[in-house]
Amino acid sequence: MKKTMIFAAFVLAASFAQAESKIGFVDMQKAVQATAAGKKAKSELEGEFAKRKKEMEKKEADLRKMGEDLEKKKSVLSEEALQKKQMEWQEEMMKYRQQVGKAQEEIQKKDRDLTQPILDKMRRVIEKVAKDKGFDMVLENTAMVLYAQKTNDLTEDVIKAFEKEK
């Protein structure tokens, strides 16, 4: 019973101490996308995605044509030849699916490689801005934040500080 009372007193004291805290928030997605580095990374990623998409669309069109040709020749091919052509088409489809999966993984890796240095710098800038403005805590503004005063929004300050820092 005594331990429970001490724990309750500790929780109550901690909640009163937190009431005095100054808490800010940052919209990380907006902050990253608004910086020159974020725009460059997004552009580079979109270029890579467009290139891969074009390659996959060509391969997909080739496979579609191969399937249509197979369907047209179905009645004139021997059973053995038809099975061989179907196996070739299925193998090409499997290769295509593997290429799509590999391309997706490579795009995701490139996205991580491009954005991680930006996020690391963004975190350092957020810490500096928060300390300079006297904030005890800074949260990421996500869908889970139901309400936050605009005066505690550090996003624009962080963007400006990020762009100034080399």
Q: Does residue 123 contact residue 28 with C-beta atoms inside 8 Å?
A: no
Whole-structure pTM value: 0.70
The answer as to whether 11 is a domain residue is no
The answer as to whether 126 is a domain residue is yes
The answer as to whether 10 is a domain residue is no
Count the Cβ atoms, other than its own, within 10 Å of residue 26: 25
**The domain spanning residue 152 has which CATH number?**
3.30.910.20
Closest CA to 129 of 99, 159, 101: 159
Q: What is the mean pLDDT of residues 62-84?
A: 88
The answer as to whether 67 is a domain residue is yes
The answer as to whether 14 is a domain residue is no
Q: 118-146 pLDDT, tens per residue? A: 999 999 999 999 999 999 999 888 767 77
Q: What is the DSSP letter of 25?
A: E
Q: What is the token pair recorded at 32?
A: 């990253």
Number of independent structural domains in the chain: 1
The answer as to whether 4 is a domain residue is no
Q: Which residues contact 74 (CB under 8 A, 6 or more apart)?
A: 82
The answer as to whether 15 is a domain residue is no
The answer as to whether 49 is a domain residue is yes
Q: 10-66 pLDDT, tens per residue? A: 444 455 455 578 889 999 999 999 999 999 999 999 999 999 999 999 999 999 999
Domain that holds residue 87: 22-164
